[in-house]
Amino acid sequence: MKLALFMPHQNAYSETFIANHINFLPFEKVIFTGRQIPFVIHGKSNYYRIFSLVDRILYHLGDKTHWVWRQSFSQFLKTSGIDVSLIEFGTMAVNVYKFLDCAKIPYVVHFHGFDAYHKQTVEANLKSYKIIFRNAAAIVVVSKAMKKKLHELGAPEHKVILNPYGVDPDLFSAGRPSDASTRFVAVGRFVEKKAPHLTISAFRTVVTAFPNAQLFFIGDGPLLNPCKSLVKAFGLENNIYFCGVLPPKKIWDYLQSARAFLQHSIVSEDGDSEGTPLSIIEAQMAGLPVIATNHAGIPDVVIHGETGLLGKELDIRTMANHILLLANDPQLAASMGRNARQRATKLFPLYLHISNLESIIRKAGNHPAIHERN
């Protein structure tokens, strides 16, 4: 079976979940990226290479929206031998569904987060979303909350399939939270929905009781410098450290030397929300208890009182108390960490995510309604 995989931009390769789809789905793949009319960035035959070259030339000539070119792309898809398509993000589906419908190629749309929640994005694309919901063979979501959201937007219940992200258990050996002193770690982009400033505010209370407590932030983003200023204003330069973007191996080292993983996710002012944060699954796979908020897909992964501790969004006092609880009780942290790894290994291994997605795609490739579309 030949799979066309559409992703929004070339940098999407750096998204772990997309890289996993590219590397582990067992299909012959043709990969398209970016723009209103995507171009081929990977295909084995000269046919793809020639089309890609023509595409790039016409794009730079400003011909990307010409009706002849739109028809040419659909014709290319028809004659390329593609059996089925996986589209990463609902917003990318808006760009390509007409070509796939015209070529009568069935497609699976994989929603990930902002494409389901961000108010302006949803409002701008809702009309197209409704067509996509009707014509797609399947719609994949990563959390129960996202499944509910897409139902509210009009997606048929029978088409929306929950398939959480997965992590390779072999990449993580179990950490030892009880041996980690009062070291904590947070991994993720410095953006509003991850609310790193609220994690800092909660940790300020922790430092009052544990002057040597440490928090290591890993990641980058638009809120990084404001968070650095906040740490200076609180006088926490010797307690909170910003490590920047790190390779996976270095991140794993931090996870395995921490007492717990921290993340205070919230619904941002523009409605943006998490899907299921992959970093939280990784932390659980590494045997760490997670202290986070009862937000989006997080409760699907973190069981309060068993594999971590959850509080309400914006409730920094409760988050501080949860951190203090595990700072005071290393054995409780160790017990939650063992439970976390056991549950993550069972429910969120990478092979299960890939296997489920493979089955969804194969079923879509035999979708009987494909020849009935207008």
Place 45 in a pLDDT band, splitting at 50, 70 and 90.
Answer: low
Dump strand ranges (E) for the chain. Answer: 2-7, 28-33, 39-42, 84-88, 107-110, 138-141, 160-162, 183-187, 214-218, 240-242, 260-263, 290-293, 308-311
Q: How far apart are CA 103 and CA 101, in angstroms?
A: 5
Comparing CA positions, the residue from 86, 89, 151, 33 lying closest to residue 364 is 86
What spatial distance separates the first Cα and last Cα of the chain, rounded to whole Å?
24
Q: Between 3.40.50.2000, 3.20.20.140, 3.90.190.20, 3.90.1150.10, what CATH number should domain 2-166+351-372 receive?
A: 3.40.50.2000
| CATH number of the 169-348 domain | 3.40.50.2000
Place 33 in a pLDDT band, splitting at 50, 70 and 90.
Answer: confident
The proportion of the chain whose per-residue pLDDT surpasses 90, expressed as a percent, equals 72
Place 74 in a pLDDT band, splitting at 50, 70 and 90.
Answer: confident
Mean pLDDT of the chain: 89
* pLDDT at 196 (0 to 100): 97
Residue 181 burial (C-beta neighbours within 10 Å; 0-12, 13-18, 19+): middle
Q: Is the pLDDT of residue 62 over 80?
A: no
* pLDDT at 81 (0 to 100): 86
* pLDDT at 59 (0 to 100): 61
pTM of the predicted model, to two decimals? 0.87
- Asked if 174 contacts 168 with a C-beta cutoff of 8 angstroms, the reply is no
Q: Is the pLDDT of residue 371 over 60?
A: no
Average pLDDT over residues 350-359: 97
Task: Report residue 175 as tokens.
Answer: 């950490």
Q: Is the pLDDT of residue 373 over 60?
A: no
pLDDT tens, position by position, 168-177: 998 887 778 8
Q: Is the pLDDT of residue 278 over 60?
A: yes
* pLDDT at 66 (0 to 100): 52
Hey, which residues does 240 pair with through a beta bridge? 215
Average pLDDT over residues 224-239: 98
Q: How far apart are CA 188 and CA 254, in angstroms?
A: 13
Q: How far apart are CA 126 and CA 349, in angstroms?
A: 33
Residue 67 burial (C-beta neighbours within 10 Å; 0-12, 13-18, 19+): exposed
Cα–Cα–Cα angle for 312, 192, 305, rounded to 5 degrees:
30
pLDDT tens, position by position, 237-267: 999 999 999 988 899 899 989 999 999 999 9
Q: Do 2-166+351-372 and 169-348 agree at the fold level? A: yes
Q: How far apart are CA 302 and CA 308, in angstroms?
A: 6
Place 285 in a pLDDT band, splitting at 50, 70 and 90.
Answer: very high
Q: Is the pLDDT of residue 369 over 60?
A: no
* pLDDT at 163 (0 to 100): 97
* pLDDT at 372 (0 to 100): 44
Q: How far apart are CA 213 and CA 327, in angstroms?
A: 9
Q: Is the pLDDT of residue 36 over 60?
A: no
Q: Check residues 141 and 35 and name the one with the higher pLDDT.
A: 141
Q: Is the pLDDT of residue 68 over 80?
A: no
When computed from its CA atoms, the radius of gyration of the chain, rounded to whole angstroms, is 22
User: In the chain, what are the domain boundaries?
Assistant: 2-166+351-372, 169-348
Dihedral sign from CA coordinates of 146, 275, 98, 119:
positive
Q: How far apart are CA 333 and CA 182, in angstroms?
A: 11
* pLDDT at 30 (0 to 100): 86
